[in-house]
Amino acid sequence: MGRLCTLEEMKSLRAQLRAEGKHLVFTNGVFDILHRGHCEYLHDARAQGDAMVVGLNSDASVRRLKGEKKPIVPEDDRAAVLAALASVDYVVIFDEDTPYVLISELLPDVLIKGGDYALDDIVGRREVEAGGGKVCTIPLTEGRSSTNIIATIIERYCKHER
């Protein structure tokens, strides 16, 4: 089971991994209403290194980015569910709008985002590549998204009550 860390704890773990010659993978996101697409993405990302840290947007960060109705699942619960996945070694919650601080402090060996991102748009790309790391994307699982799940719930359960 993964563990929830502060940035300072993760920096220490990063130094330890580096000293052991292990490659750290970093990805990030909101991971609200965890679903199959998330799990497949995280599994594929983890396969790119020896350990993986997931940067998780805090509730305040999500509200700024996606509006006051999000997230649906609170950050502590989202972090606990992520940490319970076999593919996730560490979770660090961040309050900024982007994971730039986490990425620039940790300098992972591999920075990964979903295939809906262009490489040039990935925050931290320059820093990771300058440090000798690689940046890549992983295709998303077709038809699997939190937005689709929410739409299905509204369609099936909410429209009939009006």
Mean pLDDT of 85-101: 98
Q: Give the number of domains in the chain.
A: 1
Domain coverage including residue 133: 3-161
Please indicate, yes or no, whether the overall pTM of this predicted structure exceeds 0.85.
yes
* CATH of residue 75: 3.40.50.620
Mean pLDDT of 88-105: 98
Q: What is the mean pLDDT of the chain?
A: 93
54 CB-near residues (< 8 Å, 6+ apart) = 2, 26, 27, 28, 29, 31, 42, 82, 88, 90, 91, 92
Confidence label for 160 from pLDDT (cuts 50, 70 and 90): low
Q: Which comes out higher in pLDDT, residue 152 or 74?
A: 74
Residue 154 has pLDDT above 80, yes or no: no
Mean pLDDT of 146-158: 75
Residue 72 has pLDDT above 80, yes or no: yes
Rounded to whole angstroms, the Cα distance separating 89 from 13 reads: 11
